[in-house]
Amino acid sequence: MDMTIRPRRLRTTAKLRKMVRETRMDKSSLVYPIFVREGENIKEEIPTMPGQYRWSLDRLPEILTETADAGVGSVMLFGIPDHKDEVGSQAYACDGIIQKAMAKAKKEVPDLYYIGDVCMCEYTSHGHCGILKGDYVDNDLTLEKLAQIAVSQVQAGADMVAPSDMMDGHIQAIREALDKNGFVTTPIMSYAVKYASAFYGPFRDAAGSAPAFGDRKSYQMDYHNRREGMKEALLDIEEGADLIMVKPAMSYLDMVREIKDATDVPMAAYSVSGEYAMVKAGAKLGYIDEDSIVCEMAACAYRAGVDVYMSYFAKELAHFMDEGRIG
């Protein structure tokens, strides 16, 4: 046939395909989530997330060093307290599990960048992400506590805070509190576009944060909605968010692309526990090639517009980038 334009010309060799690759990735964009709990000498595998663990403070440097050695430069810490109450007081206590973990981590593995998850669900006895008034999460009462959590985490050593609660006005409340306490350069990464998703199931097992009653649909978003996600992102940017996150990642990359096109802040996505668990289960059954799936999921997220990628496969992804499989 007489064809001048043949797109396959650029696919003929591996070197050429990599030369003209449109999506580029770097290890500096990876964030690894880590669960920290009270106790001593604990490395406790999470049943629903094979290969992920709950770490006690004394053993936390092990996983931090392993992460840094893999080339992953950032981690997000999630706390599992021994004591929970109606107001989630251990979330903002100066001797709370995350506050102690931040201080220890910054001292023993200072080269990593530490992000604190600002929420209350792991710390409340009812498992909801704020202060209850009856059976309803009271938005405005919760804002004061979220601001306290953020300030306490930064005082302990957090380099960035990431509110995941989905309360209206939370970014403004946290920004004002950080600035008032002298933390004007501390950035906020907002879980602005966080859907009420079944993909969070294994995380709730890992962190012991399942709600004791009802669900979180009165504050997390309906997954049918697209314009609402844009509204949430723009509101949080107006209130002072420095980065915007979409959560979950895999099934919501349309939101990543749309918000990326409409805004000028860095875009993050969280490849959540359900995504991780499905890959692990499918690979164990021999139904899928784990490494290939992990690479493809990540590349698709970056292709959609992700600048920062949170993943339980972060260490593996760093290795794949070193190998040139992706990136």
Q: Which residues are catalytic?
A: 194, 247
Task: Let me know: does 193 contact 180? Beta carbons within 8 Å.
Answer: no
Q: For the residues of 143-169, what is the DSSP string, one character each?
A: HHHHHHHHHHHHHHT-SEEEE-S--TT
d(CA 151, CA 131): 18
d(CA 143, CA 165): 10
d(CA 183, CA 173): 13
Residue with tokens 């979220």: 146
Distance of CA 132 to the CA centre of its chain: 25
What SS3 state is found at 213?
A: coil
**What's the maximum distance between 2 C-alpha atoms anywhere in the chain?**
74
Instruction: Tell whether omega for the bond before 7 is within 30 degrees of 0, i.e. cis.
Output: no
Task: Let me know: does 71 contact 61? Beta carbons within 8 Å.
Answer: no
The torsion angle over the Cα atoms of residues 254, 258, 263 and 267, rounded to 10 degrees, is: 10
d(CA 50, CA 48): 6
